[in-house]
Amino acid sequence: MKKVKSAINEQRRKVSTSRALLLHDSIGPHKVRATTQSLQELGIQVLHHPTYSPDLAPCDFWLFPILKDRLAGRKFHCIQDLAKAVNSELRTIPEGDYQGVFRRWQITLKRYIESHGEYFEGL
């Protein structure tokens, strides 16, 4: 949890962790008591990700498909080689692309909130 707090502080030097929001999906490590209690102690508000809603996770609907396409067919001999390749590919994506996907993500989250968590189609 110290790494989480440090990362948030690094990204948001002027904003305390008490104003941070963290979107969590429904995997086990995100739901265990130790994790939820630690985040609560740090003052980090958690937004829970509904099950089976990959359209609410920018990495699932945007970033991972890009990385899969760019790394397809390449062989890596160790995890460090894979990590270097992923980091290299991430650096080639223009900043504006990241900003655009997060703007679309905000619109999708707003629609999710307005629908009170019910299913909806399209953006």
Task: Categorize the per-residue pLDDT at 19 as very low, low, confident or very high, splitting at 50, 70 and 90.
Answer: low
Task: Categorize the per-residue pLDDT at 12 as very low, low, confident or very high, splitting at 50, 70 and 90.
Answer: low
pLDDT over 60 (residue 16): no
pLDDT over 80 (residue 70): yes
Do 20 and 40 lie in one domain? The reply is: yes
Do 6 and 36 lie in one domain? The reply is: yes
Q: How far apart are the C-alpha atoms of 93 and 81, rounded to whole Å?
A: 19
Do 4 and 17 lie in one domain? The reply is: yes
CB 108 within 8 A of CB 123: yes
In degrees and rounded to multiples of 5, residue 48 shows phi and psi of -80, 135
CA-wise closest residue to 24 among 3, 44, 43: 44
Do 32 and 69 lie in one domain? The reply is: no
Q: How far apart are the C-alpha atoms of 95 and 37, rounded to whole Å?
A: 34
CA dihedral 60, 63, 66, 72 (to 10 degrees): -70
Q: What pLDDT, in 10s, does the model give residues 111-121?
A: 877 877 666 66
Do 83 and 107 lie in one domain? The reply is: yes
Q: What pLDDT, in 10s, does the model give residues 94-115?
A: 999 988 888 888 888 788 778 7
Domain that residue 6 falls in? 1-49
CB 49 within 8 A of CB 24: yes
CB 56 within 8 A of CB 109: yes
Do 112 and 71 lie in one domain? The reply is: yes
pLDDT over 90 (residue 77): yes
Q: What is the pLDDT of residue 108?
A: 81
Do 2 and 43 lie in one domain? The reply is: yes
